Chains A and B, each alone.
Chain A
Amino acid sequence: MKLVVSALSAGYGNSRVVHDITLMVGPGEIVALLGANGAGKTTILRALSGIIPRAGSIRLDDREMIDVSARDIVRAGVVHVPQGRGTFGGLTVGENLSATQTGSVVREAELRDKVCRLFPILRERWTQPAGELSGGEQQMLAVARALMLEPRILMLDEPSLGLAPLIRIELFETIRAIAADGIGVLLIEQNADLSLKIASQALLLSHGRVVASGRPDEIAGSGIIEEAYLNHAG
Chain B
Amino acid sequence: MPAEFQVFLQQVVDGIANGSLYAAMAVAIVLAHRTTGVVNFALGEMALVCTFLAWQLAAWGAPLPVAIIAALVFAFVLGAGIERVLMRPLRNKPPLASAVVALGVFLVLNQVCALIWPGAQREFPALVPALNLEFAGVRIGSETLLLIAVLAGQAALLWWFFRHTRLGLRMRAASDNPESAVYIGIEPNRLFTLGWGLSAIFAAMAGILLAPSILLTTGMMFPILIYGLCAATLGGLNNPFGAIVGGILVGVTENLASTYLPFIGSDLRIAAPLILVFIALLFRPHGLFGTVQAERV
Contact B166 A102 (CB under 8 A): yes
List B contacts of A98 (CB < 8 A).
Answer: 166, 169
Contact B294 A131 (CB under 8 A): yes
The interface-forming segment of A35-43, A78-86, A179-187 is A78-86
Q: Which of A74, A95, A131 contacts B184 (CB under 8 A)?
A: A74
Q: Which of B165-196 contact A (CB under 8 A)?
A: 166, 169-170, 172-173, 176-177, 179-187
Contact A131 B183 (CB under 8 A): no
Q: Which of B169, B187, B238, B295 contacts A99 (CB under 8 A)?
A: B169
Contact B185 A71 (CB under 8 A): yes
B85 in the interface (beta carbon within 8 A): no
A169 to B198, CA, bound (A): 47
List B contacts of A102 (CB < 8 A).
Answer: 166, 185
A170 in the interface (beta carbon within 8 A): no
Contact B172 A91 (CB under 8 A): yes
A-B contact count (CB 8 A): 86
B111 in the interface (beta carbon within 8 A): no
Shortest CB distance A83–B (Å):
11
B266 in the interface (beta carbon within 8 A): no
Nearest neighbor of B34 in chain A, beta-carbon distance: A90
B131 in the interface (beta carbon within 8 A): no
Contact A99 B173 (CB under 8 A): yes
Shortest CB distance A175–B (Å):
17
B92 in the interface (beta carbon within 8 A): no
Contact B291 A75 (CB under 8 A): no
Residue from A51, A95, A133, A149 whose CB has the most chain B CB atoms within 10 Å: A95
Residue from A49, A70, A81 whose CB has the most chain B CB atoms within 10 Å: A70
Q: How large is the interface on A (under 10, 10 to 19, 20 to 34, 35 or more residues)?
A: 20 to 34
A86 to B176, CA, bound (A): 10
A126 in the interface (beta carbon within 8 A): no
Contact A88 B166 (CB under 8 A): no
Contact A91 B185 (CB under 8 A): no
List A contacts of B238 (CB < 8 A).
Answer: 90
A100 to B184, CA, bound (A): 6
A26 to B179, CA, bound (A): 28
A222 in the interface (beta carbon within 8 A): no
Task: Say whether, besides A86-B177, A88-B173, A49 and B294 are in contact (CB < 8 Å).
Answer: no
A95 to B217, CA, bound (A): 44
Contact A71 B187 (CB under 8 A): yes
Residues of B within 8 A of A (CB): 166, 169-170, 172-173, 176-177, 179-187, 238, 291, 293-297
| A88-B173, A98-B166, A101-B166 given; 4 more Cβ-contact pairs under 8 Å | A49-B182, A71-B187, A99-B169, A135-B297
Residues of A within 8 A of B (CB): 49, 51, 70-71, 74-75, 79-82, 86-91, 95-96, 98-102, 129, 131-135, 138, 145-146, 149, 162
